C-alpha cells in the first residue's frame, strides 16, 4: 500500500465499515499495530471521486480491496541547453 492508492473499505477491512467507503491513501503511518493491520491517512471520496474528509484509518490489509492507483501525470521532458562553460 502506498500514497495515491485507491481503496474500497468494507467489513472485510474492519467491522467499522458497515457502509463501504472509498479512500485515496495519503500515507501509511508507522504506528504500532497487530500483525496484518495498518494505520493509514487517507481522503474519503464521494461518488464523483472528490475528497470529502481526511481520516486516519485502521485496516486489515487482507480485507482491503484495491481499486487501482491514479495515473501519473504525463510530462514532456526536454534536454536542458547550457551555454559555454567558463574556465578560469
| pLDDT tens for each residue of 7-32 | 999 999 999 899 999 999 999 999 98
**Domain around 13:** 6-68
Please tell me the predicted confidence (pLDDT) of residue 73: 47
Whether 87 maps to a domain, the answer reads no
**Which regions of 1-88 does DSSP assign to beta strands (E)?**
6-9, 21-29, 37-45, 51-60, 65-68
Mean pLDDT of all residues in 1-5: 89
Cell of 52: 470529502
Domain count of the fold of the chain: 1
Q: Looking at the domain assignment, is residue 24 inside a domain?
A: yes
CA-wise closest residue to 9 among 48, 40, 50, 51: 40
pLDDT tens digits, one per residue of 44-86: 999 999 999 999 999 999 999 998 655 454 555 566 666 666 6
Q: Is residue 20 part of a domain?
A: yes
Any domain includes 83: no
In this predicted structure, what is the pLDDT of residue 33? 86
The pLDDT value recorded for residue 1 is 83
pLDDT for the residue numbered 77: 56
Amino acid at each position: 500500500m502506498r500514497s495515491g492508492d485507491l481503496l474500497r473499505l468494507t467489513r472485510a477491512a474492519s467491522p467499522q465499515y458497515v457502509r463501504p467507503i472509498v479512500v485515496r491513501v495519503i500515507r501509511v503511518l508507522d504506528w504500532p499495530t497487530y500483525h496484518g493491520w495498518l494505520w493509514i491517512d487517507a481522503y474519503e471520496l464521494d461518488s464523483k471521486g472528490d475528497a470529502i474528509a481526511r481520516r486516519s484509518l485502521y485496516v486489515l490489509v487482507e480485507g482491503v480491496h484495491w481499486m487501482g492507483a491514479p495515473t501519473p501525470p504525463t510530462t514532456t521532458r526536454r534536454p536542458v541547453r547550457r551555454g559555454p562553460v567558463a574556465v578560469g
